[in-house]
Structure 1
Amino acid sequence: MSAILVVDDDKSLRDLLSVVLRERGHDVETAEEGNAALELMLRTRFEMVISDIIMPGKEGMETIKEIRALYPEVQIIAMSTGGSMGNSQVLEYARMIGAHESIRKPVELPNLITTVERMLS
């Protein structure tokens, strides 16, 4: 069982991922943007962060950079639809700045579960 933080401004996606990951035996916390995520990380040790890239407040790229600098052992999965830059460019950049994996939105749950389990094993 691992502690996972899901960061996304879409409440329905946060809730869905939280339920799916809890069903797999993980402890899950959620945050709606990067500042809230970093606050949670001060109080709780997470093995993994799954973060959207495009969010209001502190966006995902900046959040990933800070997590990588402060908590280098944490596994990071970046998620995005890509916005105006395009999906593959955004996710490639997320990997360059510290994400270990990237997943395109809309999220395919079997792919996410496989990726999470592989990264945490």
Structure 2
Amino acid sequence: MSTILIIDDDEQFNLMMKKALEIKGYNVETAKNGREAKALYQNKTYDVIITDIIMPDVDGYEVILDLRRLGMSDRAIAVSGGGRTSAEDYLMTAQHFDAAATFNKPVELQALRAKVEEIIKSHAS
């Protein structure tokens, strides 16, 4: 069973995404920020990591750059609802950091699930 990590400071978003992916048979874990997530992905391998960009403590950019250093940015999906600028600005930067995919919030679940499956298949042995 594939394992997915969702990182977002919005507890409702984490819960909604967790349920939406568990329905498809994935094992899903959540973290409320990049600091909490790093403690998880340094000790466990995830097939896909979905991260919000704007979060307290350690943000999504730091997560993606850390994943890039670990050779795992091709497993990262960035999501954003915007902030000081538009979501597109944040997501474009995430693409420059080598995130595998980006999605605006609210996330279109069918498209996200398809991208998750594509990333998992690309890493299948």
Shift of 1:2: 1.1
Q: For the Cα contact (< 8 Å) 1:47–1:73, is it kept in 2? A: no
Shift of 1:116: 1.2
Question: Deviation digits for residues 17-68 of structure 1, max 9, x if unmatched?
Answer: 1111111111111000001001001222111100000011101111110111
Residue 42 of structure 1 is matched in structure 2 by: 42
> Matches of residues 106-121 of structure 1 in structure 2 within 5 Å?
106-121=106-121
Residue 89 of structure 1 is matched in structure 2 by: 89
Q: For the Cα contact (< 8 Å) 2:8–2:51, is it kept in 1? A: yes
Residue 104 of structure 2 is matched in structure 1 by: 104
SS in 2 for 1:77: strand
- Return the alpha-carbon distance in structure 2 between the equivalents of residues 75 and 32 of structure 1: 19
SS in 1 for 2:118: helix
Q: For the Cα contact (< 8 Å) 1:3–1:26, is it kept in 2? A: yes
Q: For the Cα contact (< 8 Å) 1:80–1:87, is it kept in 2? A: yes
Instruction: Give the TM-score normalised by the residue count of structure 2.
Output: 0.90
> Which ranges in structure 2 are unaligned for 5 or more consecutive residues?
none
Amino acid at match of 1:93: T
> Which ranges in structure 1 are unaligned for 5 or more consecutive residues?
none
CA, structure 1 residues 52+16, in 2 after alignment: closer, same or farther (shift >3 Å)?
same
Aligned residues: 121
CA RMSD of aligned residues (A): 1.3
Residue 24 of structure 2 is matched in structure 1 by: 24
